[in-house]
Structure 1
Amino acid sequence: MHAWHPGMSRDARDAREAWISGGRGRSGLRIVIVTENFLPKVDGVTRTLARLLEHLEREGHQCMLLGPGTGMSHYASHPLVGTAGVPLVVYPGLKLNFLRPKFLRVIQDFEPDVVHFVDPIWLGAQTLVALELGWAGQDWVGDGGPAIGTGISGAVVASYHTNLATYATLFGLSWLEPVMWRLQQWLYSKTKLTLCPSPSTRDMLESQSFANVRLWPRGVDLSHFSRAHRCPKMRASWGVGDAPDGRAISGLNMPLTPPASPTVSAAGAGDLPSRNVLLYVGRVSWEKNLVLLLRAYGRLRRTLPPAAVPKLVFVGDGPARPELESICAAQDLDATFMGHRSGAELAQCYASADVFAFPSFTETFGQVVLEALASGLPVVGLDAEGTRDLVAHRHTGLLLPLPPQGAAAPRQGDTSAPPSRAWPAICRDTATPLFDTCVEGYAALLAEACTLHTQREAMAHRACTQGIVGYTWWDAMERCVDGYREAMRMARANRHVSIVSAPSAPAALDPAVPVPAPTATPRISRVNRALSRRLAHRQFREAQMRYRTRAKSEAELAHFKTLAKALLVALAFWWIWTRHLASNGRVVSWDELFTPA
């Protein structure tokens, strides 16, 4: 009855929207997702998006994904439409993707109930403006007509995944951070709702004047990540035996996990040193604050007995991996780089470690933190957005607070600022005494987690039990779908959709009251009637021509302004990129830029 079909009347579409947005569990939503990035690039955003597409398929919803070219035509039965982009040399693996006319035709022909923008900043910004201008159909044009700034009338949702403004400070462009915040606030204001993954991120967005922010948390697959996957062969490949506490590798007494695995004895474990394993999982790039981890680990080597120094293992890939491997080799750090791992291998890496080190402060949620907790690892991180929402200090892990107020602040930072601004300012300049203070504090927490075995085991037990309560993937993805339905209700309310009842029958006339006779209409000659009709028709045509001419001029002016703004943004990105390369002693010529590799 409420299924979508081509050529639906406006009344039928309205009845369908009212039904499908009215309650959870009603299938049949039609969604277009516009994303800046997707598989095969693997990070928290693409993994979450893949989970969402799989959930939408299972729940009977239809989706179209518009984003960068991936070489795939479908994912989880949903069609993918790709576009070309310019590689972002400053950040390998990312592209500045451009809006193509096919995207707008897809939105117009698919007739989605909701358009979902994932981290809109470049491709998303272009598509949002195109919806405002009516390039994807008049159904998305706001009440003020097709013009930039008049708003979008349909159900449009944005999800916030990446602290892009923070990255400006990390790249030495702190002056760009407020500009990025204003740009993002302007883009997200065009949507009905903003979905974010954690309460601390919501507080940060609301402090930047983001409106209608809703939580879209993440989940963890408890059948996949658990302590039951601890693997002695994996530890042997790292050159370590059992942990110093002598914990048996067993699946017993592990709630919230699959049925217990039989006890596994580590063959040859006695030939390997008994050491803890310090694990990092994530993108291997400097904005993850890996300098802090390396320096803190180096301090452990100088302060702990040799037998107590943990093994350092990196799982993941990224642009900083070659340089990081060179630094570890030059400083003789006992580090192993596993590269990208997924599936059962990734689960074994988590479960076979003893402590999870995660010094990043740019997270909006921290999916790897949740996976580590489910695998029974206490987390040693920073008291920053994303991490603090998942880790309870001295309960499921250890969190490094911001340095004391009296410490010398770096030039671009102030410890009195909110954590979202203070951490980037502190950690960007690694030559300051304040950063050394952070290194000492973080090293102390790592040493505590690695040497106090009873406390570590207690935190590990609470991590895989209490630390993951309420984080299932079905509930997490359905919270996003709930956001779709709420956006549809908000769009309907803005359109003032209402059902007008038929007029009631007139009251019976009182026969005692005389009814006046109708007055006679004066006669109009046929010539006068013909002249009046021709004159009215001519005036209507002239008014229509004036309206069309004015509308065409306004549209052309709006298009020119849009192109001019796009050109200015492109020039700004070009200037930032060349300035970054110049600071590293590299100058890119036009021949190098346009000559194919």
Structure 2
Amino acid sequence: MTSPKRIILATDTYYPQVNGVSKSLQETREVLEGLGHEVALIGPDKTMPNPIYPQIPMPIPSPKKVVTLFEEFKPDHIHIATEGPIGILTRSHCVDRNLKFTTSFHTLWPEYLSKLMLVPSSLTWNSLWWFHSAAELTMTRSKSMMEILRQKGFQKVAEWTGSYDPNCFYQRERKDNTSKRPIYLYIGRVSVEKNLEAFLNLDLGDGTKRIVGDGPYLQTLKAKYPEVEFLGEKSGEELAQAYCEGDVFVFPSLTDTFGRVVVEALASGVPVAAFPVTGPKDILASPQLGAMHDDLRVAIEEALRHGDRYECARYATKFSKEKVAEQFLKNLVPVKEAGKDTTAREQHPTN
């Protein structure tokens, strides 16, 4: 084991907010602290309503808190996890004082903002490149995302894959004996960018389409698809059991960098059907785990035909929170490293 480290983690989203990024950061922090490392959080203590996405409040950063924390904590490593107000403030503090830090790229904001607000993706990519170019290293969720970032001008990237909690998500006995099977399951945020209508519009014949989760698009979909089961947001044991009830997990998103819910489904013994895009194509390594196809119906049929519940659960263990936290720790860089020139990374991105 490495000697105990003092790590500052800056993020615009954290528990009790419910999303893949906040869950992964919380798990990584818990594992690191369990190993004896100290992790100081610069998080969203104060927030304001978010007009774009009400479910995720907009953080209000405190410059005074950041300065005080750095002076008192004296970190060995600094990681900036998100590109929002807290991330920008912490980045500015580090750049002004020549402190070396890492960042992570969790969200394909160019695609999201293009869909939600019609913001040109090239503008968002330029902003993201500016943010991450000052870092010593940018971590991202998959090898596919690493390649995308390199094509956009990000020169120092490393994999920090998504995680899940094996103490919560594992194969359980099914309790649903009343719903018509197969159960076509989606769990996650219910929003436009998740491309859920590509799933809900499919005529799959017999069976039950089931959506578990909340989000700004929930009421719209409820009204449009009355035949679909919408079970709302679940957590803890209820969420874990909800995964296990599925016969196939349908993941129609085209813009996720990883897809934490995909791994949680596999860990629960449920094969996955998805489009062949970043995230699923980095996870679904064999037909026993599920299927990918440009025709989502074909992917669903193949996943049902070839999926192996036991192999799904076995394979998912490679994404356990303990293994992923170890990967994160290895990617960190010392706050001060003499003689290293960081200006070589300052090149214009490719759009």
SS at match of 1:218: coil
Q: For 1:211-226, list aligned pairs within 5 A.
A: 211-226=155-170
Distance in 1 (CA, whole Å) between partners of 2:43 and 2:166 is: 31
* Structure 1 letter corresponding to 2:192: W
- Relative distance call for 1:321 and 1:106 in structure 2 (3 A) is same
1:443 aligns to 2:349 (yes or no): no
Q: Distance in 2 between matches of 1:117 and 1:345?
A: 32
Amino acid at match of 2:269: G
* Structure 2 CA distance for aligned equivalents of residues 374 and 132 of structure 1: 41
- % identity of equivalent residues: 30
Partner of residue 492, structure 1: 337
Does the CA-based 8 Å contact 2:4-2:36 persist in structure 1? yes
Structure with the bigger RCO (C-alpha within 8 Å, sep 6+) is 2
Name 1:592's counterpart in structure 2.
none
SS in 1 for 2:280: coil
Give CA-to-partner distance per residue, 1:47-85, whole Å, 9 cap, x none.
00110111121111112111212xxxxxxxxxxxxxx34
1:30-45 equivalences in 2 (<5 Å): 30-45=6-21
In the alignment, does 2:196 pair up with 1:290?
A: yes
Distance (Å, rounded) in 1 between the aligned partners of 2:154 and 2:291: 31
What is the aligned counterpart of 2:183 among 277, 293, 298? 277
Q: Which of the numbers 101, 107, 111 marks the counterpart of 2:70?
A: 107
Q: CA deviation at 1:382?
A: 1.0
- For residues 150 and 330 of structure 2, the distance between their equivalents in structure 1, rounded to whole angstroms, comes to 20
SS at match of 2:10: strand
Does 1:231 pair with 2:80? no
What residue in structure 1 maps to residue 28 of structure 2?
52
State the AA in 2 paired with 1:214.
A
Q: Which residue of 1 aligns with 2:348?
A: none
Secondary structure of the structure 1 residue equivalent to 2:128: helix
Match of 2:260 in 1: 367
Contact 1:218 1:477 in 2 (8 A): no
Selected match of 1:341 from 218, 234, 249: 234
Corresponding residue SS for 2:279: coil
SS in structure 2 at match of 1:488? coil
CA distance in 2, matches of 1:449, 1:215: 27
Kindly indicate whether residue 340 of structure 2 is the aligned counterpart of residue 479 of structure 1.
no
Q: Distance in 2 between matches of 1:449 and 1:195?
A: 31
User: For residues 285-364 of structure 1, what are the structure 2 equivalents within 5 Å?
Assistant: 285-296=191-202, 299-300=203-204, 304=205, 309-329=206-226, 333=227, 335-364=228-257
Matches of 1:110 and 1:462, distance apart in 2: 44
Aligned residue for 1:378? Answer: 271
Q: Determine the structure 2 residue equivalent to 1:132.
A: 95
Q: Does residue 158 in structure 1 map to residue 7 in structure 2? A: no
Aligned equivalent of 2:48, options 80, 86, 98: 86
**1:444 Cα deviation after fit:** 3.6
Q: Distance in 2 between matches of 1:178 and 1:216?
A: 25
- RMSD after superposition: 2.1
Partner residue of 1:206 out of 150, 154, 170:
150
- Structure 2 Cα separation of the partners of residues 474 and 279 of structure 1: 27
1:194 aligns with 2:194: no
Amino acid at match of 2:85: W
Report deviation, 1:204.
0.9
Q: Which runs of 5+ in 1 are unaligned?
A: 1-24, 70-83, 134-140, 142-151, 241-272, 402-440, 497-597
Q: Residues 99 and 347 of structure 1: is their aligned pair in 2 closer, same or farther, counting only changes over 3 Å?
A: closer
Deviation at 1:470, TM superposition (A): 2.5
Letter in 2 for 1:359: P
1:432-473 Cα shifts (integer Å, max 9, x gaps): xxxxxxxxx2234334545xxxx24x44343223x3253222
Unaligned runs of 5+ in 2: 342-351
Partner Cα distance (2:263, 2:219) in 1? 27
Give the ranges of 4+ consecutive aligned residues of structure 1 lying more than 6 Å apart after TM superposition.
none
Instruction: Supply the AA of the counterpart residue of 2:199.
Output: L
CA distance in 2, matches of 1:363, 1:381: 12
Question: Does the aligned pair in 1 maintain the 2:192–2:217 contact within 8 Å?
Answer: yes
Aligned partner of residue 345 in structure 1, secondary structure: helix
The partner residue of 2:59 within 97, 108, 126 is 97
- Deviation for aligned residue 1:323: 1.6
1:67 and 2:43 are equivalent in the alignment: yes
Question: TM-score, normalized by length of structure 2?
Answer: 0.90
Report if aligned partners of 2:44, 2:61 keep a CA contact under 8 Å in 1. no
Q: What number of residue pairs does the alignment pair up?
A: 340
State the distance in 1 between where 2:162 and 2:299 align: 27
Asked if structure 1 preserves the Cα contact closer than 8 Å seen for 2:24 and 2:163, the reply is no
Contact 1:196 1:213 (C-alpha < 8 Å) held by counterparts: yes
How far residue 86 of structure 1 moved from its aligned partner, in angstroms, is 3.4
Q: Does 1:460 align with 2:314?
A: no
Structure 2 CA distance for aligned equivalents of residues 221 and 37 of structure 1: 19
Residue 344 (structure 2) aligns with: none
Gap change, CA 1:66 and 1:461, over 3 Å in 2 = same
Whole-Å Cα distance in 2 between the matches of residues 353 and 346 of structure 1? 12
Aligned to 2:345: none
Contact 1:380 1:397 in 2 (8 A): yes
The residue number in structure 2 matching 1:392 is 285
SS at match of 2:130: helix
Partner letter of residue 188 of structure 1?
H
Aligned-pair distance for 1:481? 1.0
The structure-2 alpha-carbon separation of the partners of 1:165 and 1:38, relative to structure 1 and needing over 3 Å to count, comes to same
Distance in structure 2 (CA, Å) of the matches to 1:320 and 1:216: 30
Indicate how the Cα distance of structure 1 residues 350 and 94 shifts in structure 2: closer, same or farther if over 3 A, else same.
closer
Letter in 2 for 1:280: Y
Give me the whole-angstrom Cα distance separating, in 2, the residues matched to 1:220 and 1:94: 21
How is 1:221-260 mapped onto 2 (pairs within 5 angstroms)?
221-227=165-171, 229-232=172-175, 235-236=176-177, 239-240=178-179
Q: Which amino acid aligns with 1:479?
A: Q
One-letter identity of the residue aligned with 2:331: G
Residue aligning to 2:349: none
* 1:116 partnered with 2:116: no
The answer as to whether partners of 2:164 and 2:264 remain within 8 angstroms in 1 is yes
Structure-2 residue corresponding to 1:265: none
